[in-house]
Structure 1
Amino acid sequence: MELIQFIELDLTGAILLILIGFVGGMVSGFIGSGGAFVLTPAMMTLGAPGIVAVASNICHKFPKALVGAIKRHKYGQVDVKLGLVMGVFAELGMLYGKHVMTGIKDRFGAVGTDLYVSAIFVVVLAIVGSFVYRDYRKLKSHPHGEEHRLTRLAKWVQSVHIPGTMIYFPGAKAKISFLFVAPMGFATGMLASTIAVGGFIGVPAMIYIFGVPALMASATELVIAFVMGLGGTIFYGLEGMVDLRLAMLILLGSLFGIQLGAIGTTYVKDYQVKLTMAVIMLTVLFSRLFYIPGYLSKLKLIEPLPETTVKTLKVAGDGVLALALLLGAITVLTALLRGIAEHRRQHEVLSENQGIAQ
């Protein structure tokens, strides 16, 4: 069994982590996601083993999720009951996923977890990124959006009555058997334990399977994220996989960045947010692809690659990830600056009109 070593961290590294957290926070606030699909690969790029990056990211996320859930609950956007029920089963998925990760680490070492996390990222981001891009195309064609409508699947799920299992969920405005909720919660936790992003399953499940409006689904996901994040931090912490330095530095940067990102959304259209999300996801996907041959080579699952080739692929992966972070930062800041400029113009016009009226 290989002993996992935390990365060395000097002042430069600490500042870099805060900046990464800041950019990740901006992206998170702008697209309404936890941003872990950017932060986990960023930690790995800095040298953190996959399992440490995931565990530390889970640790950094759950305090933010709690704050966000409380804030959005005040606006009546959270279905607490659904969040807690899914959270309980997500915790079970988190525990199982943690065993899978530690099993891979014990058998194949840190490189094994790097390969596992990277491969899951590539598959998940390809699927989710494609769906988000499809949503962007739809929203661009219908910029005013559509009313919330139940899918055929959601109507069927709400129509199924299984005695002794039915629970009324305010978000769906219907009774749903927890036998439908349980597997979705478990899958959410399982994915979160692997790449620190469970919302890719939880939010779509609530919208398309349970019939919860998108706004409420994204808010309820914060409850799930808090419950499974707290448990996941404990589970991974007991294994010695949580690097509190990484978690706290990333959290410090993201707390500031998320505010700018959230403000930026007030100045752009929904389809622009979707486009940003799709572009960043697909860019991160390609960055992870460059690392996979090196991991396969180190594990001797393919013919060993020359060290120069592995280094070249890593540089390419680092560059593409940096591009993803840069794209996110530029998009958010551009939206923010344009919004501020537009606000000033409107204020000047209003002042001029008032002056003429007087």
Structure 2
Amino acid sequence: MESLPTNFIDLYFLNVLYLFLVGFVGGLVSGFIGSGGAFVLTPAMMSLGVPGIVAVASNMCHKFPKALVGSLKRAKFGQVDWKLGIIFGLFAEIGVLIGAQVQEHIRNTFGDAGSNLYVSLAFVLILGTVGSFVLYDALKSRKDSNSDTEEKTGKLARWVQSIHIPYTMVYFKSLKAKVSLLFILPLGVATGMLAATIAVGGFIGVPGMMYVLGAPSLMASATELVVAFVMGLGGTIKFAWSGYVDIRLAMIILAGSLFGVQLGAIGTTYVKPYMIKLVMGTIMVIVLFSRALMVPVYLSQLEMIATLDKGLVEILSTVSFAIMVFALSFGAVIILGAMWRGRRA
């Protein structure tokens, strides 16, 4: 029997079961907030010992079919702006190609520990920044929200919509306004670069559509699924070409995700907009702590700090894994609970 590539881990029954459940919760989150769920899936795979770059590549591989299912499901509820999603996605593909090169360069130069450190630091920085802002905005929106009022367009989005640049203006139904493609281009490229480097593009894509372009949260989260499909397809081809896609991980997670993403998509029709922001921000902050605990371990492996005691490494890894499991469980309970209450009401 041929041995597995050095990039790939051995799979046992408990690993497979864990990955399936991770996929289910990731799909639930993806369908609900439109981020692709990768901010729980990538760290969850890394907690099993999957190298960062393989976790990112395999995540992108499973993402595009799941995102397609989610976007079609939410399109039935009228939540998808196909024009914005496709244009945004095409710009994001540029960023995917750039980001994949960066990810491969880091892995080739510093090995698995370097890739793991890069992915973890990126998660801590981005989860901390975006998660805190989204959580703050959700709590603020909750105070002002009631079932009969629409979300208000922010000052930045109103300014963006007021700028008219000849030959670049396009009308989008989700914005109910024309916006210059020159504003979408940098958002798309940044989203693609982030997706290719840590498998998470929704951190920029969803907030970007909401706060910069002025899309309602429901339509932003749904339209991001279209963007995720376009990015995932291109990113999979790019990473597979270099041998970093573990199709086993991708298929197991996808199997769980296809169940979860439909429940998550249905759940959006039963909750107020602020709840989507609240779930997104809360899970981000919890996952942040899971990845932060592993940073000293990777620094030690790269000999950037003193070598850590083996027992301490075990403790940090175990606690990180436990926090990851808590984040997955917490997200599932919030989404399913909100869906159940909304459906009863």
SS state at 1:301 partner: coil
- Give 1:217 shift: 1.9
- Give me the whole-angstrom Cα distance separating, in 2, the residues matched to 1:17 and 1:228: 22
- Give me the whole-angstrom Cα distance separating, in 1, the residues matched to 2:49 and 2:14: 14
- Code of the aligned partner of 1:319: A
Q: For residues 16-71 of structure 1, give each alpha carbon's deviation from its aligned partner in whole angstroms, at most 9, with x where no partner exists.
A: 21122123223334444421111110000011101111111111111111122233
- Code of the aligned partner of 1:238: W
The TM-score with structure 2 as length reference comes to 0.90
Pair 182,335 (structure 1): closer, same or farther in 2 beyond 3 Å? closer
Q: Does 1:164 align with 2:167?
A: yes
- Give me the whole-angstrom Cα distance separating, in 2, the residues matched to 1:265 and 1:163: 37
* Equivalence map 1:265-304=2 (5 Å): 270-304=273-307
- Give me the whole-angstrom Cα distance separating, in 2, the residues matched to 1:230 and 1:186: 16
* Equivalence map 1:82-161=2 (5 Å): 82-144=84-146, 146-161=149-164
- Give 1:318 shift: 1.1
- Code of the aligned partner of 1:179: L
Pair 338,171 (structure 1): closer, same or farther in 2 beyond 3 Å? closer
* Equivalence map 1:308-319=2 (5 Å): 308-319=311-322
- Give me the whole-angstrom Cα distance separating, in 1, the residues matched to 2:150 and 2:6: 50
Pair 338,226 (structure 1): closer, same or farther in 2 beyond 3 Å? closer
Q: Aligned Cα RMSD in Å?
A: 2.3
- Give me the whole-angstrom Cα distance separating, in 2, the residues matched to 1:162 and 1:260: 41
Q: 1:5 maps to what in 2?
A: 7
- Give me the whole-angstrom Cα distance separating, in 2, the residues matched to 1:269 and 1:175: 26
Percent identity over the alignment? Answer: 59
Bigger CA radius of gyration: 1
Pair 77,284 (structure 1): closer, same or farther in 2 beyond 3 Å? same
Q: 2:52 maps to what in 1?
A: 50
- Give me the whole-angstrom Cα distance separating, in 1, the residues matched to 2:241 and 2:321: 31
Q: Which runs of 5+ in 2 are unaligned?
A: none
- Asked whether the equivalents of residues 66 and 257 of structure 2 are also in contact (C-alpha less than 8 Å), the reply is no
- Code of the aligned partner of 2:8: F
Q: 1:179 maps to what in 2?
A: 182
- Code of the aligned partner of 1:231: G
Pair 172,264 (structure 1): closer, same or farther in 2 beyond 3 Å? closer
The TM-score with structure 1 as length reference comes to 0.87
- Code of the aligned partner of 1:286: F
- Give me the whole-angstrom Cα distance separating, in 2, the residues matched to 1:329 and 1:173: 33
- Give me the whole-angstrom Cα distance separating, in 2, the residues matched to 1:85 and 1:254: 26
Pair 54,338 (structure 1): closer, same or farther in 2 beyond 3 Å? same
- Give me the whole-angstrom Cα distance separating, in 2, the residues matched to 1:221 and 1:55: 19
- Give me the whole-angstrom Cα distance separating, in 1, the residues matched to 2:176 and 2:219: 12
- Code of the aligned partner of 2:257: S
Q: 2:207 maps to what in 1?
A: 204
Q: Does 1:69 align with 2:71?
A: yes
Q: 1:234 maps to what in 2?
A: 237
Pair 40,82 (structure 1): closer, same or farther in 2 beyond 3 Å? same
- Code of the aligned partner of 2:106: I
Give the paired residue count. 340
- Asked whether the equivalents of residues 4 and 110 of structure 1 are also in contact (C-alpha less than 8 Å), the reply is no
- Give 1:266 shift: 5.7
